[in-house]
Amino acid sequence: MSRTHPELKTPPALAEGGLRIVALGGLGEIGRNMTVFEFGGKLLIVDCGVLFPEEHQPGVDVILPDFTSIRDRMDDVLAVVLTHGHEDHIGGVPYLLRERRDIPLVGSKLTLAFIKAKLEEHRIKPVTREVAEGDTLDFGPFETEFLAVNHSIPDALAVAIRTEAGLVLHTGDFKMDQFPLDRRITDLRGFARLGEEGVDLFLTDSTNAEVPGFTLSEGDLVPAIETVFRTAPKRVIVSSFASHVHRIQQVLNAAHAHGRKVAFVGRSMVRNMGIARDLGYLDIPKGLVVDLKQMDKLPADQVCVICTGSQGEPMAALSRMANRDHVIRISEGDTVLLASSLIPGNENAIYRIINELTRWGANVVHKGNAKVHVSGHASAGELVYCYNIVKPRNVMPVHGEWRHLKANGELAIKTGVHPRGVVLAEDGQVVDLVDGRVRVTGKVSAGNVYVDGATVGGATEASLKDRRNLAEEGVITVVAIVDADTGLLAETPDFLARGFVHDEGTFDSVVPLIEKALAKAAEEGVGGALQLEQLITRAVAGWANRNGRRSPMIIPVVIDA
Ligand SMILES: [Zn+2]
């Protein structure tokens, strides 16, 4: 397998007739999937998602792919193909369209409905092209063809891209559930047909490449969900992804069968389920859904609430219920069903919520104690099947952390793909397909772009480091009044500390150090406020480190007396 070269630089010009592939996100991480294809000076983008921040990125709402490398080339972008409606595939679109409003968005009916609803919140009316499986569409030198794939959201598509450089097949996110609720299975016959034609590059979903065997069917959850609804003595509160239409369909079916009414709670849940129902992806029996007011009048054992927050998001309904900050007050005998995955990085938040809900008296059913979740991604067994059917010349694992990409690459090699044809790339690495061979030829910038409140890209790695430092170490503000003539302290400095453990006498021992530093500066003729502030910072930082191994943020303020 070919892999990273740390000294990679800006790539050379793309060879004539070559196809360039650059993932600006989704490699080495689960999220913000975005791949840019370039041929003949034109660009075709597949997906534009967001990544959700982890605990070490405080204050960040979402993380975007870095558009720097294509910012000057927005007019060359012919379309953005959206493989499905998950946030990690469409969430970045509003920000991309700020660069150029009229980039055509291409996707299936449900995917486009989800992105349009999202863009409405950003007051953007996009240019869209709706496609369905079997459709082909040309964008300049790119001939695209769409194939059905099965995933944890309906209407997902794989995309085949033909150029003079060869045939590329990008699976998007997929699995191979043979009995999905909508009977729409991954189009392996289509994959085989493309395989016969000769797939030069196969980009495949790596999320579950480390998981042996086959991902279970959505239908396998029926018994566990049934049990919850059959045995729950009082209310049932279900939390799931607001886009998992089939999971919610299963919950609706069970609620209906057991004589419960359903209320949707949470903005994205209400919005998405409305869209899914209107477009015919969700079948809601008449009279089943009620609003919260009507629900209040029903006996507890006839109530089901479906809400957001299954990943422990602090502002979502479930988290607020756990914190007693929601009109729904969890009480003894309620059953909470977390019908969702546990995305790595969210574990602490979710377990905290499970504990809180349990403390209020709820019986919490989750994937750790019942069969209430199946993954939306192909496991190793399915991936191997695909390799054997497609028989690709080259493989580029996508959508996954480094370990997932590597595991996926190894599966490809096991099925006979030449190790030289498996390219493990990182975000920003430039992969060129020329004469049927793939090669990493350079690197473009692909750092994290943080959305923080209303600002995009304002928060940097440095500001996040400051935030972590503030959270862990606290802050000391030193106000020093300095005699302008002598450069020495006019009076004892004031210390204001937050989050730094101290008492009345704590700072006594640092004063002589500041005096010494200022005396030395005066002797050497150093007198600018900025320089004195730096000296004070150094003196206080050194002192804090020696006295208790702390490294608080230090804010010096020098005032001329
Ligand atoms: Zn997905």
Q: Is the pLDDT of residue 480 over 60?
A: yes
pLDDT of residue 361: 96
- Residue 497 CA to ligand 1 center (angstroms) comes to 46
Structure tokens at 200: 């030069």
Q: Which residues surround ligand 1, an ion (CB under 5 A)?
A: 86, 173
pLDDT of residue 139: 98
Structure tokens at 48: 């534009």
Reported as half-sphere exposure (CB side, CA atoms, 13 A), residue 231 has a value of 11
pLDDT of residue 90: 97
- Residue 556 CA to ligand 1 center (angstroms) comes to 48
Cα 528 to Cα 338, 512, 522, 531: the distances in Å are 60, 20, 10, 5
How high does pLDDT run on average in the chain?
93
- Residue 508 CA to ligand 1 center (angstroms) comes to 58
Q: 258 with 283: CB under 8 angstroms?
A: no
Spatial separation of the C-alpha atoms in residues 465 and 324, rounded to whole Å: 32
pLDDT of residue 465: 84
521 pLDDT tier (thresholds 50, 70, 90): confident
For the CA atoms of 276, 241, 411, 165, the dihedral, rounded to the nearest 10 degrees, stands at 50
Q: Is the pLDDT of residue 6 over 70?
A: no
pLDDT of residue 504: 83
Residue type, 194: L
- Residue 37 CA to ligand 1 center (angstroms) comes to 20
286 pLDDT tier (thresholds 50, 70, 90): very high
pLDDT of residue 560: 85
Residues 337-352 pLDDT 10s: 999 988 777 888 899 9
pTM of the model: 0.88
End-to-end CA distance of the chain: 67
pLDDT of residue 382: 98
Average pLDDT of the segment spanning 172-183: 96
- Residue 220 CA to ligand 1 center (angstroms) comes to 20
pLDDT of residue 283: 97
Q: 443 with 9: CB under 8 angstroms?
A: yes
pLDDT of residue 417: 98
pLDDT of residue 52: 83
Q: Is the pLDDT of residue 3 over 80?
A: no
Residues 221-255 pLDDT 10s: 999 999 999 999 999 999 999 999 999 999 999 99
Average pLDDT of the segment spanning 157-165: 98
- Residue 541 CA to ligand 1 center (angstroms) comes to 46
- Residue 111 CA to ligand 1 center (angstroms) comes to 11
pLDDT of residue 4: 57
2 pLDDT tier (thresholds 50, 70, 90): low
- Residue 241 CA to ligand 1 center (angstroms) comes to 11
- Residue 20 CA to ligand 1 center (angstroms) comes to 24
Residues 418-432 pLDDT 10s: 999 999 999 999 999
Please tell me the least confidently modeled range out of 117-121, 305-309, 362-366, 469-473. 469-473
Instruction: Give the residue, 56 or 83, on which the prediction is more confident.
Output: 83
Average pLDDT of the segment spanning 142-169: 98
- Residue 157 CA to ligand 1 center (angstroms) comes to 11
- Residue 492 CA to ligand 1 center (angstroms) comes to 60
- Residue 209 CA to ligand 1 center (angstroms) comes to 15
**DSSP letter assigned to residue 7:** T
Q: Is the pLDDT of residue 180 over 80?
A: yes
Give Cα 484 distance to the centre of its chain. Answer: 53
Residues 61-107 pLDDT 10s: 889 999 999 999 999 999 999 999 999 999 999 999 999 999 999 99
- Residue 323 CA to ligand 1 center (angstroms) comes to 29
Average pLDDT of the segment spanning 476-499: 88
- Residue 152 CA to ligand 1 center (angstroms) comes to 7
DSSP for 215-233, written as a single string: PPPGGGGHHHHHHHHHH-S
